Structure 1
């Protein structure tokens, strides 16, 4: 039966209009394809080459339009952005054309305010602030990346102190203070006193100079001396060997002292036999004659060493310098090339190693006293002196006002401000026997001291490295005293010399700790 041509029904779906392999076999499929009416196009023909060519043209046009749009948009973006970063050349406040940018005199570049912000901490080559406006100096410093623990900054490594230096290397008093120190009593003063006593004659003895059996003696020419008399030889040893330690440390705060034997046949004592008897002195006893220093006044513990403060470091020196000095700080303060305003804000960061500032007389005098106190704290720690600052610290638990009064066994010369370290008899022997009880008070002062005199520390370094302080003290004792004196008064025991060396090492450890903490 002959198939009739199917009418095109627009309501049919696309799949319904296309025959499938299930509906026709191969031969029928071929016949069907040959009988298709191309004018009505009821079927989709996949090998229609004209349609394929049109499709390729449409794709090409789309691709070209996308490329052209991208290029056109890029060009617009470049024009817009270049307008924001337009450079102007200013020569003496006059605008000049761009092609004249090679003009040399006083050319400045001025960019738009939207500069890129850098937080690298590196120096800005345009000399402009690289941080956003409104940040404080502290916040700017926090944002810097120069604080890496792996790469610490070492400032002022090559700094050489001069006459305007108050402090240097973080822990040492500078030449401005050292050069103004009172002269005191050095080696030459000791030698003069020794020779004087060899030919001296006592013409008068009277009570004075502290303890009951001590005496103030007057010589033929009017000079005077304090004579220390004790029943226990270790107190006499403590007095004279503490003086020797002071000499080895180059301290000039101890009055010249010598040992002599009480012998009524000696020219020194022959005129005061009755006074010696009334003083109940025994013959053949060793006594210490110390040069009497007139015009002394009492000395108090500085506020910075009292319990509410009790510390001295470079930040304290800086604060006192800025607060008390009345000179033009903005012109004279050179502190690691930092401005004064920045310096005040960065005190807690401790990023300076020296202070250069011309001080007024009041501030210099205060620092001169503190520099001597730094020596006193070291000296009393080495000798374990109980009768000075430790006495005040120990009694503070019962009497809180004791710190307001004069320091025990300490005086100041009225004319020069020199501190005199008096009565050191408890040092090196008696004080060493009581270290377990009182060492905490010695350490209390030392552990909070971080400013030192360079020559004192250098002397201790030399003594500690050679381990020879025991032999040096013994040689000094033998050289300055006769055989008779040496038979009556023993030298410093070896175990005490070892304790002294150990305590010198602890002082040097404190110096190193301060150098690490405040570098």
Structure 2
């Protein structure tokens, strides 16, 4: 009875549709009315047929998603999958606490953008064997318990002195800029060529803190501590209308240096630089570079480089620079091979072996603001070192006794770049206070090391 009623109902629907079609064709009904009636009449398609269509559509959708995921995972080469920004990892750039982590390929260890990357230098440097604390101290390497000997000092690269800095400063003030191109790292930095062919890395920053960190870091390292590892650096102003910059007026505009009278940092560009690696003594978590750990350089141990690293540890602790060894240590949480990578913002002169302490803009200001987060890294490195250059230790002892580092920095500013005294603020007093505290901490480490080893020398 039910099936017959259903067949009767379907037959009625066909009859109604046929009648509506004939009436519309004869003009009795408007076409829009007939169409409306046609839509209101239920479809004669069986319900089972519609269910099958819906199920087939859903199955095709699910199959498409499955195929789209499986093809990249199983058919494409691993390098293509690794190139995905969601799957790759790079070390965090600690120079800015507000910038999200940048990503880096685990096999690519960039140190400074303009450092040469020859094939043999891209491979990881093997760890040197860690000497035992019972190893006897070589008297030809260590003097008075904790100082590098005169023999080591004579083997050190000469580096840059105050005369080199003064000569560079004079030329930057007088030389004409004939070429300006991208380079030297960040987007608004420019590689500048002067009319005598010499080149400079010109650093422009919107943030005056970074200009202060770079120039006052140079004054501290070069003039106060006497370190030869800082490339000659001075201040300048890029004025497109001046004779000095007129040849590159268009390039200055393209660089988007919005304020022409703003101070920029001009650092002498050095060619033939190679990546510099962290010494084996300072790579493991139980890092330690004490007198008993220093071995004879008859093997592959480069004692002259170790002596430069002892200066770097002191300098980076004073300035709270996060962009070198701290960068590698922090990024261990993402890349367990980071300590085998080149140190960030550190390079080695291919000819002389001089280590260059580059890009010090995060020190003295930005680094001091982040001490709560990174001080345990700084302390870990400083506490690991108990061998020093005598001249560096003497400078620390003198600064600790006289507590005049702020006065010395202001004097260096006035003597080196007097025309910028009214343009660039000097180092704030609160930062001078922190610097004095860090000088006291380095002094404490030197005295502690002397008490441990000087009596047994």
TM-score (norm. length: structure 1) = 0.59
In structure 1, the partner of 2:144 is 169
In structure 1, the partner of 2:315 is 379
Counterpart CA distance in 2 for 1:454 and 1:255 is 22
In structure 1, the partner of 2:441 is 506
Counterpart CA distance in 2 for 1:303 and 1:224 is 34
In structure 2, the partner of 1:388 is 324
Structure 2 SS opposite 1:288: strand
> 2:392 aligned with 1:448, yes or no?
no
Structure 2 SS opposite 1:193: helix
CA-CA distance at 1:515 after TM superposition: 1.5
Greater RCO (Cα-Cα under 8 Å, separation 6 or more): 2
Q: Give deviations 1:339-374, integer Å, cap 9, x for gaps.
A: xxxxxxxxxxxxxxxxxxxxx8x55xx000100000
Query: Is contact 2:148–2:387 with CA below 8 Å preserved after alignment?
Result: yes
In structure 1, the partner of 2:256 is 280
CA-CA distance at 1:443 after TM superposition: 0.7
Q: Give deviations 1:398-441, integer Å, cap 9, x for gaps.
A: 21111111110000000010000000000000001111111111
In structure 2, the partner of 1:482 is 418
> 2:393 aligned with 1:457, yes or no?
yes
Query: Is contact 2:236–2:266 with CA below 8 Å preserved after alignment?
Result: yes
Structure 2 SS opposite 1:487: coil
* Structure with the bigger percentage of helix: 2
In structure 1, the partner of 2:113 is none
Structure 2 counterpart of 1:515, from 445, 450, 454: 450
CA-CA distance at 1:309 after TM superposition: 4.5
Counterpart CA distance in 1 for 2:200 and 2:347 is 16
Counterpart CA distance in 2 for 1:208 and 1:496 is 31
Query: Is contact 2:160–2:229 with CA below 8 Å preserved after alignment?
Result: yes
In structure 2, the partner of 1:315 is 292
Report the count of equivalent residues.
Answer: 315
Query: Is contact 2:323–2:344 with CA below 8 Å preserved after alignment?
Result: yes
Query: Is contact 1:303–1:309 with CA below 8 Å preserved after alignment?
Result: no
CA-CA distance at 1:486 after TM superposition: 2.0
Q: Give deviations 1:268-306, integer Å, cap 9, x for gaps.
A: 312111001111112111100000111100011111100
Structure 2 counterpart of 1:241, from 201, 211, 216: 216
Counterpart CA distance in 2 for 1:308 and 1:379 is 21
For residues 54-453 of structure 1, the aligned pairs below 5 Å read: 165-247=140-222, 248-282=224-258, 283-317=260-294, 320-321=295-296, 325=298, 363=301, 366-453=302-389
TM-score (norm. length: structure 2) = 0.67
Q: Give deviations 1:58-90, integer Å, cap 9, x for gaps.
A: xxxxxxxxxxxxxxxxxxxxxxxxxxxxxxxxx
CA-CA distance at 1:386 after TM superposition: 1.2
In structure 2, the partner of 1:495 is 430
CA-CA distance at 1:482 after TM superposition: 3.5
In structure 1, the partner of 2:115 is none
Counterpart CA distance in 2 for 1:465 and 1:261 is 37
Query: Is contact 1:409–1:423 with CA below 8 Å preserved after alignment?
Result: yes
Moved over 4 A (4+): none
Counterpart CA distance in 1 for 2:191 and 2:311 is 28
CA-CA distance at 1:308 after TM superposition: 4.7
Counterpart CA distance in 2 for 1:198 and 1:245 is 22
CA-CA distance at 1:448 after TM superposition: 0.8
Counterpart CA distance in 1 for 2:285 and 2:327 is 18
Counterpart CA distance in 1 for 2:282 and 2:243 is 47
> Which structure 2 residue ranges, 5 or more long, are not aligned?
1-137
> Which structure 1 residue ranges, 5 or more long, are not aligned?
1-160, 326-359
Counterpart CA distance in 2 for 1:174 and 1:233 is 41
